[in-house]
């Protein structure tokens, strides 16, 4: 790799920009895209290398800092970006690092000349798998040691690409037969899912433009199946956002009934209109302000889906930078939002109807504890078995004693997700 030093300089500079902006909450992917836009001369192979090393540094930040400080007692504050880049390069590309020639006497060259990578790991799993303490302290006593070990490893492993086939237009087997240019295989748990190892911009694929699929993790696809909408049902997606689960509900629901999408943050619904038109279901979805929904649909919903805002701790493998922006303040905000959404909107569910609560979190405070607190104050609701609901859709997942479902990333090589289904007494 003749141009390795040049590419490492790009990695180091990109990491510095992310480090500078991470306190603002700006996603790493957005910073990366802006960086490449300004440097359009970088070819696709160079960008792939920079991508791989940049995200590897973010993903393994806590481990790398621990390893570096074991070797370099002179590092007291933050590890310099150039040193972190050299360390990651030595670990991920040892052969290329051996032959790299640094012609410019800069920080990278200096660190490359003296720094040596040693394959040493701490006993503490939270450091070994680069899990922030804020999350670790809230999950370490909730799961068994073996589950924790596997979960943390899976969360720190890059995720595959998951597709959800739009079954209103094409079946998954038909899709695979028709789409020969992608290395697809069936999903592990969702009958609508396909997977592949190749990472590419699928939004430019002709099948995407025709609305034949959406990008959606398999665990996330379980939510609509747990709702189990029937023809004629009134379904409300309370936190619809960009509409990923709304579109799946539209694909599963019959031609009759109502599907209402709303969100406390109305601006998040803007993408739903465009996505629904592409999927061919725009006429099936009513996009309404939250206050209108509360006023018009009290005691009317057969299904109320609350896909609640959360810490996103179950999707660290897809968004590793979010590990280092998460804080106790953000968790407290999420817990308050979740409790309010449940309390203030439960009255939308009609007697005999269902309330489906979901998060992409592995933190029990956002999941089981949130549902337990709600049930303690709302005796008219009771838990149903998520496993039974999924079995009705042909998805045989093991149940739990509580009836709630907690999917950890290592269970099915999918995101961490939590689902609870409650029914309102008649």
Residues 336-350 have a mean pLDDT of 98
Which residues lie closer than 8 Å to 413 by C-beta, 6 or more apart? 154, 160, 188
Mean pLDDT of 103-112: 85
Report pLDDT digits (tens) over 365-392: 999 999 999 999 999 999 999 999 999 9
Q: Please, which pLDDT band fits residue 97 given cuts at 50, 70 and 90?
A: confident
Question: Residue 104: is its pLDDT beyond 80?
Answer: no
Residue 2 has pLDDT above 80, yes or no: no
Report the run of H or E that residue 43 belongs to, with start and end. none
Q: What is the pLDDT of residue 1?
A: 63
- Rounded Cα–Cα distance for residues 17 and 29 (Å): 12
Dist CA 333 CA 323 (whole Å): 16
Three-class SS of 265-303: CHHHHHHHHHHHHHHCCHHHEEECCHHHHHHHCCCCEEE
Q: Which DSSP symbol is given to 160?
A: P
Task: Quick: pLDDT tens for 301-329.
Answer: 999 999 999 999 999 999 999 999 999 99
**The pLDDT value given to residue 295:** 96
Q: Higher model confidence: residue 288 or residue 401?
A: 288
Which alpha helices (DSSP H) does 346-400 contain, by range?
368-377, 386-391
pLDDT tens across 120-140, in order?
Answer: 999 999 999 999 999 999 999
Residue 74 in this model has a pLDDT that exceeds 90: no
Q: How far apart are CA 103 and CA 231, in angstroms?
A: 69
pLDDT band at 3 (very low <50, low <70, confident <90, very high): confident
Q: What pLDDT does residue 166 have? A: 98
pLDDT band, residue 51 (cuts 50/70/90): very high
Q: What is the mean pLDDT of residues 74-87?
A: 91
CB of 358 closer than 8 Å to CB of 412: no
Q: By three-state DSSP, how is residue 423 classified?
A: strand
The residue with greater pLDDT, 97 or 126, is: 126
Q: Using an 8 Å Cβ cutoff, are 135 and 173 in contact? A: no
Round the average pLDDT of the chain to a whole number and report it.
94
- Band (pLDDT 50/70/90 cuts) for residue 359 is very high
What's the distance, CA 340 to chain centroid? 23
Extract the tokens encoding 218: 């398999």
In order of their start, the domains of the chain are 4-121 (1.10.940), 218-424 (3.40.50.150)
Please state, in angstroms and rounded to a whole number, the distance separating the CA atoms of residues 227 and 390: 9
For residue 158, the model assigns a pLDDT of 94
Q: How many CB atoms lie within 10 A of CB 262?
A: 23
CA distance between the termini of the chain: 69
Neighbours of 117 (CB within 10 A): 18
Beta-carbon count within 10 A of 158 CB: 13
Average pLDDT estimate for 183-199: 95
Look at residue 84 and tell me whether its pLDDT is greater than 90. Answer: yes
Which range is least confidently modeled, 95-104, 110-119, 222-231?
95-104
Residue 400 has what pLDDT?
77
Backbone phi and psi for residue 359, each to the nearest 5 degrees, phi listed first: -140, 160
Nearest in space to 222 (alpha carbons), one of 405, 422, 411, 410: 405
Q: Cα separation of 15 and 85, whole Å? A: 8
Long-range contacts of 169-174 (CB under 8 A, 24+ apart): 169/210, 169/211, 169/212, 169/279, 169/280, 170/212
In the structure encoding, which two tokens stand for residue 207, read together? 């099948």
- Please identify which residue in the block is written with the tokens 């037969």: 177
**Count of helices and strands (H, E) across the chain:** 20, 12
Q: Are 180 and 156 in contact (CB under 8 A)?
A: no
Specify the pLDDT at position 279: 95
User: What is the per-residue pLDDT across 252-287, written as a single tens digit (0 to 9) for each?
Assistant: 998 889 999 999 888 889 899 999 999 999 999 999
- Distance in angstroms (rounded) separating the CA atoms of residues 284 and 254: 10
Residue 94 has pLDDT above 80, yes or no: yes
Task: Collect all residues with Cβ–Cβ distance below 8 Å to 124 and sequence separation of at least 6.
Answer: none
Distance CA 101, CA 1 (A): 9
pTM: 0.95
Please check the confidence at residue 71 and state whether its pLDDT lies above 70: yes
């Amino acid at each position: 790799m003749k141009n390795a030093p040049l590419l490492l300089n790009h990695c180091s500079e990109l990491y510095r920009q992310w480090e500078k902006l991470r306190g603002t909450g700006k996603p790493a992917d957005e910073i990366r895209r802006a960086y490449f836009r300004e440097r359009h001369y970088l070819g696709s192979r160079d960008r792939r290398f920079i991508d791989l090393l940049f995200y590897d540094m973010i993903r393994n930040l806590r481990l790398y800092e621990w390893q570096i400080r074991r070797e370099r007692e002179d590092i007291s504050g933050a590890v310099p970006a150039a040193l972190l880049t050299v360390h990651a390069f030595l670990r991920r590309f040892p052969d290329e690092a051996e032959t790299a020639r640094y012609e410019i006497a800069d920080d990278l060259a200096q660190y490359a000349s003296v720094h040596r990578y040693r394959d040493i790991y701490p006993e503490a799993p939270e450091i070994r798998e680069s899990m922030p303490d804020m999350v670790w302290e809230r999950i370490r006593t909730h799961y068994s040691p073996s589950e924790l070990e596997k979960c943390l490893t899976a969360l720190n492993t890059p995720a595959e690409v998951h597709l959800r086939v739009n079954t209103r237009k094409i079946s998954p087997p038909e899709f695979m037969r028709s789409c020969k240019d992608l290395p697809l295989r069936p999903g592990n748990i969702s009958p609508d899912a396909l997977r592949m190892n190749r990472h590419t911009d699928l939004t430019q694929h002709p099948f995407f433009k025709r609305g034949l699929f959406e990008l959606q993790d398999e665990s996330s696809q379980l939510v609509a199946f747990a709702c189990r909408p029937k023809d004629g049902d009134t379904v409300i997606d309370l936190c619809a956002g960009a509409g990923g689960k709304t579109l799946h509900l539209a694909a599963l629901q019959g031609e009759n009934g109502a599907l209402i999408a709303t969100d406390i943050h109305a601006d998040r619904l803007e993408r739903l209109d465009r996505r629904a038109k592409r999927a061919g279901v725009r006429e099936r979805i009513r996009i309404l302000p939250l206050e209108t929904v509360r006023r018009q649909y009290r005691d009317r919903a057969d299904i109320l889906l609350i896909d609640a805002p959360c810490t996103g701790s179950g999707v660290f493998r897809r968004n590793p930078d979010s590990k280092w922006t998460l804080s106790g303040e953000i968790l407290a905000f999420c817990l308050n939002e979740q409790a309010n959404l449940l309390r203030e909107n439960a009255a939308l569910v009609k007697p005999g109807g269902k309330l489906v609560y979901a998060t992409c979190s592995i933190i029990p405070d956002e999941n089981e504890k949130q549902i337990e607190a709600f049930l303690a104050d709302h005796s008219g609701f009771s838990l149903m078995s998520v496993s039974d609901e999924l079995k009705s859709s042909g998805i045989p997942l093991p149940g739990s004693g509580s009836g709630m479902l907690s999917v950890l990333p290592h269970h099915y090589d999918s995101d961490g997700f939590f689902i609870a289904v409650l029914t309102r007494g008649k």
